[in-house]
């Protein structure tokens, strides 16, 4: 065995290891950080048809929000288990990752872009929060240690006042609006748009248009 062959073998070995090594989700190239503060980090996840992420690690409690329909595949790093799934626009769920991180990679087997928002919950000193939001048009999805999640519907030409909260909130749009929809005077026009509202602020959602607006509201503990 020649030295050149030996060196090329070592080089190939390290290339393979790099390709299959896992990275933190925050630096995986298809997970784009678009916002961060002491409470949350928002990753805008986009995978074009035919593309595959690196193996990456999820270890912080997170909320996932699907923004379009797509067929995907996934592989677990440790087990090599491969599965297919169809993600649906508007699906919302919480993952705690309390005991073990999730290390996987995802690929897009569809003809449309895979688009998800991942909201990592960074605050570790959870506190009790007020009673649930009282509006009939707002439905609780989950109530977990770091976060309480709701889906809301703001009818055309209507207003929802949520009052002043003693904890921060995150409001995310779930559909596109051709007319004016505002959250605390910030204009929303596209799904995936969001507003972080610090504690102690009054919260008002206004829909002056003719199309109902769908929202996710996250109460951050």
CA-to-CA distance for 144 and 61, rounded, in angstroms? 10
CA angle 190, 192, 26 (to 5 degrees): 145
pLDDT of residue 152: 94
214 neighbors 152 (Cβ within 8 angstroms):
yes
CA-to-CA distance for 118 and 98, rounded, in angstroms? 17
pLDDT of residue 83: 84
pLDDT of residue 135: 81
pTM: 0.88
Q: Write out the E strands in 80-183.
A: 82-87, 92-95, 102-108, 114-121, 138-143, 147-154, 158-164, 169-173, 181-183
CA-to-CA distance for 203 and 111, rounded, in angstroms? 39
**How do residues 22-61 score in pLDDT, each as one tens digit?**
899 999 999 999 999 999 999 999 999 999 999 999 999 9
CA-to-CA distance for 124 and 19, rounded, in angstroms? 33
Within a 10 A sphere around the Cβ of 143, how many other Cβ atoms? Answer: 14
Q: Return the C-alpha torsion angle 192, 178, 142, 164, nearest 10.
A: 100
Do the strands 169-173 and 181-183 form a parallel or antiparallel pair, or are they unpaired? unpaired
Closest by Cα among 98, 105, 41 to 78: 105
As averages over each run of 10 residues, the pLDDT of the chain (221 residues) reads 45 44 91 97 97 96 97 87 87 95 95 97 89 85 96 94 93 88 92 96 92 94 93
pLDDT of residue 21: 67
pLDDT of residue 91: 95
């Amino acid at each position: 065995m020649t030295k050149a062959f030996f060196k090329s073998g070592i080089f190939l070995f390290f290339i393979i290891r790099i390709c299959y090594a896992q990275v933190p989700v925050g630096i995986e190239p298809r997970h784009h950080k678009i916002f961060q503060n002491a409470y949350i980090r928002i990753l805008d996840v986009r995978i074009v048809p035919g593309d595959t992420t690196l193996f990456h690690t999820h270890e912080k409690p997170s909320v996932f929000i699907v923004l379009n329909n797509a067929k995907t595949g996934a592989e677990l790093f440790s087990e090599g288990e491969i599965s297919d799934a169809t993600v649906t626009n508007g699906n919302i769920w919480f993952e705690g990752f309390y005991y073990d991180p999730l290390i996987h990679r995802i690929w897009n087997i569809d003809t449309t872009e895979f688009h998800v928002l991942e909201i990592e919950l960074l605050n570790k000193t959870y506190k009790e929060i007020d009673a649930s939001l009282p509006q009939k048009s707002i439905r609780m999805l989950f109530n977990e240690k770091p976060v309480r999640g709701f889906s809301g519907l703001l009818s055309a030409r209507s207003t929802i006042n949520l009052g002043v909260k003693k904890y921060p909130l995150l409001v995310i749009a779930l559909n596109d609006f051709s007319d004016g929809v505002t959250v605390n005077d910030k204009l929303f026009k596209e799904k995936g748009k969001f507003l972080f509202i610090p504690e102690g602020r009054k919260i008002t959602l206004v829909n002056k248009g003719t199309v109902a607006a769908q929202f996710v509201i996250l109460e951050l503990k």
